[in-house]
Every structure is written in C-alpha cells, then in structure tokens.
Amino acid sequence: MAIDQKAIEEHIRGILTALGDDPDREGLRDTPARTARMFLEMFEGMNYTNDEIAQMFNRTFEEDFDPVESGSDMVVVRDIDIFSHCEHHLALMYDMKVTVAYIPVGKVIGLSKIARIADMVSKRLQLQERIGADIAEIIQKVTGSADVAVLISGKHSCINARGIKKPDTKTHTSTLRGRFRTDPLLAARVERYSE
C-alpha cells in the first residue's frame, strides 16, 4: 500500500483549520506539503511487509559455523538508534536503543543490514513490543537462525510529554526466540550486552 501524499496534505490542512489557525497564512502556507513529504520519509516502512523487508536486506555471507560445535556463538549489534510513532496517539517514541543478537547457522548477515532492518521496521505506526517482534522475524528469515533476541529501551512521548507527564520514564522490551527463550544463561548473556 503506497502512502497517499495528496491526502496527507489535505488532512494536515484540515487539522490546521481545526486547531483554529489559518492554513493560508505565510508561516503555514507550505506546511501541508512539507508535512506530507516528512511523512513519506518517517513512515516509509508502512510501504513494505516483513517479507519484503527481508528480501530488501537479504545480504548474507556463508560462514563455516557448526551450531552443534559452537553451541552459543553469537553475533550482537547494540545501540542501534531508532525512533518511531506509537499507533495509539501518533506520539513520538524516541531515545530508542535496539540490541539484536542471533546465533549464526552457516551464514551471517551484513552488520549494516541489521541496523537497516531495525530502522525500516521503526518507520511504521508501531508498538515497541511489535518493533522487537518484527525485527526478530525478519532476522530469522534472512539468517535462517531460529535463535534471535531483540532488546529495546526507549522513551514514549505519550507518557513523557502528555497524560501523566513522567519525563524520565523508559520502556524496556525483550523479544526472545529459539534458544534465547529456552536457555536462561544465553538470555542473561545478551541482556548484559544491552546494558
């Protein structure tokens, strides 16, 4: 589903009017078009399914990993900065740090692709929990590994800036798949990496 830039412009114009301002005044005249262009960039991930994102970033390198021998050799990429918008209030989720870990099975993904996957998944109307689940699903598809962990911490402006207004509140989520779910020592290992 493609994002409808013209419809966004019309609706932003309506919101400006509903707020009691004049969308034709000097400072707001180009705001609907600028906002629509910004939305195209910020919500790019809405144009793609998880399968399409997996295809987009399906760049792996064959490696001689023996999962039986190596046991719990893992790749960890941490401190991936992302932001997103919550689907409940369209509020910004910010200062988000993502840690992705997986146990390779015969191949590894290019490290920049992990960050690109996290970035693309965040460019949707989201829940923090779903961001983790989406990243884990895509990493599993690309790497062929069942063993994936995604840890996320972040601030939500729907808590920090409105409603209860608790500016220092952070939300932490973990998505554990495969051995990260069944092996507490492995889960604890990846938790330490995310601190």
Enumerate the active-site residues: 86-89, 128, 156, 158
Interatomic CA distance for residues 35 and 41, integer angstroms: 10
Answer for the pair 74, 102: CB distance below 8 angstroms, yes or no. Answer: yes
DSSP state of 46: G
Let me know: does 40 contact 63? Beta carbons within 8 Å. no
Side-chain half-sphere of 132: how many Cα atoms within 13 Å?
Answer: 21
Radius of gyration for the alpha carbons in the chain, expressed in angstroms and rounded: 20
Nearest 5°: phi and psi at 107?
A: -155, 155
The DSSP H or E segment spanning 109 is strand 107-109
Look at residues 108, 103, 106, 99 and name the one whose alpha carbon lies nearest to residue 72.
103
